[in-house]
Amino acid sequence: MATSASKSARERVREEITREILDVARAHLAEHGPVALSLRAVARDVGMVSSAVYRYFPSRDDLLTALIVEAYGAVADEVEAAAAASTRRHLSGRWAAVTASVRDWARAHPHEYGLIYGTPVPGYQAPEATIEPVNRLAVVLVELLRDGLERGELTPEHDLALPKRVHAALAPVLEFADLPDDVVARGLLAWTSMFGAISYELFGHLHSAVLDYDAYFEHQMARLAHDVLGAR
Amino acid sequence: MATSASKSARERVREEITREILDVARAHLAEHGPVALSLRAVARDVGMVSSAVYRYFPSRDDLLTALIVEAYGAVADEVEAAAAASTRRHLSGRWAAVTASVRDWARAHPHEYGLIYGTPVPGYQAPEATIEPVNRLAVVLVELLRDGLERGELTPEHDLALPKRVHAALAPVLEFADLPDDVVARGLLAWTSMFGAISYELFGHLHSAVLDYDAYFEHQMARLAHDVLGAR
DNA sequence: TGTACATCAGTGAACGCGCGTTCACTGATGTAC
DNA sequence: TGTACATCAGTGAACGCGCGTTCACTGATGTAC
User: Rounded to 5, what percent of chain B is helix, strand, coil?
Assistant: 75, 0, 25
d(CA A49, CA A47): 7
d(CA A213, CA B188): 13
d(CA A142, CA A147): 9
- Listed in sequence order, the residues at least 6 apart from B194 whose beta carbon sits closer than 8 Å to its beta carbon are A196, B99, B102, B103, B221, B224
Interchain CB distance below 8 Å, A199 and B196: yes
Interchain CB distance below 8 Å, B223 and A122: no
pTM of the full structure: 0.95
Q: Is B149 exposed, middle or buried (0-12, 13-18, 19+ CB in 10 A)?
A: middle
Strand D nucleotides within a 7 Å radius of protein CB atoms: 8-14, 18-24, 29-32
Residue type, B163: P
- Listed in sequence order, the residues at least 6 apart from B185 whose beta carbon sits closer than 8 Å to its beta carbon are A219, A220, A223, B162, B166, B170
Interchain CB distance below 8 Å, B203 and A114: no
d(CA B187, CA B138): 10
Identify the sign of the CA torsion B49, B52, B57, B62: positive
Residue type, B41: A
- Listed in sequence order, the residues at least 6 apart from A124 whose beta carbon sits closer than 8 Å to its beta carbon are A64, A65, A68
Residues of A with CB below 8 A from B229's CB?
none
pLDDT (tens place) for every residue of chain A, 232 residues total? 333 444 578 889 999 999 999 999 999 999 999 999 999 999 999 999 999 999 999 999 999 999 999 999 999 999 999 999 999 999 999 999 999 999 999 999 999 999 999 998 766 667 889 999 999 999 999 999 999 999 999 976 665 679 999 999 999 999 999 999 999 999 999 999 999 999 999 999 999 999 999 999 999 999 999 999 999 7
Residue type, B99: T
Polymer length of chain A: 232
d(CA A129, CA B23): 38
Q: What pLDDT is stored for residue A160 in this prediction?
A: 61
d(CA A109, CA A30): 7
d(CA A63, CA A57): 6
- Whether the CB of B129 is less than 7 Å away from nucleic strand D comes out as no
Cα dihedral: A201, A206, A208, A211 (round 10) = -70
Among partner residues A186, A216, A226, which is closest to B160 by beta-carbon distance?
Answer: A226
Cα dist from A197 to B141, B201, B225, whole Å: 17, 15, 17
A154 has which bridge partners?
A: A231
Tell me which residue of B151, B154, B143 sits closest to B82, measured CA to CA: B143
A13 to chain B, any CB pair closer than 8 A? The answer is no
Tell me which residue of A144, A142, A170, A161 sits closest to A231, measured CA to CA: A144
A139 to chain B, any CB pair closer than 8 A? The answer is no
Interchain CB distance below 8 Å, A219 and B36: no
- Tell me if B71 sits within 8 A of B201, measured CB to CB: no
Q: What pLDDT is stored for residue B124 in this prediction?
A: 63
Interchain CB distance below 8 Å, B227 and A228: yes
d(CA B23, CA B67): 9
Separation between the CA of B197 and the C1’ of C19 (whole angstroms): 37
Residue type, B111: H
d(CA B199, CA B69): 20
- Tell me if A77 sits within 8 A of A213, measured CB to CB: no
Q: What pLDDT is stored for residue A31 in this prediction?
A: 92
Q: What are the counts of helices (DSSP H) followed by strands (DSSP E) for chain B?
A: 10, 0
Reduced to 3 states, what is the DSSP secondary structure of residue B231?
Answer: strand
User: Taking a contact as any Cβ pair under 8 Å apart, which residues of chain B between 161 and 200 contact chain A?
Assistant: 162-163, 165-166, 168-173, 176, 185-186, 188-189, 192-197, 199-200
- Whole-number average pLDDT of chain B: 93
Tell me which residue of A124, A132, B219 sits closest to B211, measured CA to CA: B219
A231 has which bridge partners?
A: A154
Q: How many CB pairs under 8 A join A and B?
A: 179
Q: Which residue is the nearest neighbor of D30, CA to C1'?
A: B7
d(CA A37, CA A33): 7
Q: With a cut of 70, which residues of chain B have pLDDT below it?
A: 1-7, 122-125, 156-160
**Which residues in chain B, range 12-71, keep a C-beta under 7 Å from any nucleic strand D atom?**
37-41, 50-51, 54, 59-61
- Tell me if A198 sits within 8 A of A103, measured CB to CB: yes
Alpha helix positions (H), B33-130? 39-46, 60-84, 91-108, 110-117
Q: What one-character-per-residue DSSP string does B189-229 give?
A: HHHHHHHHHHHHHHTTTTTTT-S-HHHHHHHHHHHIIIIII
- The nucleotide lying nearest A54 (C-alpha to C1') is C21
Among partner residues B125, B207, B227, which is closest to A227 by beta-carbon distance?
Answer: B227
Residue type, A104: D
- Tell me if B122 sits within 8 A of A118, measured CB to CB: no
B154 has which bridge partners?
A: B231
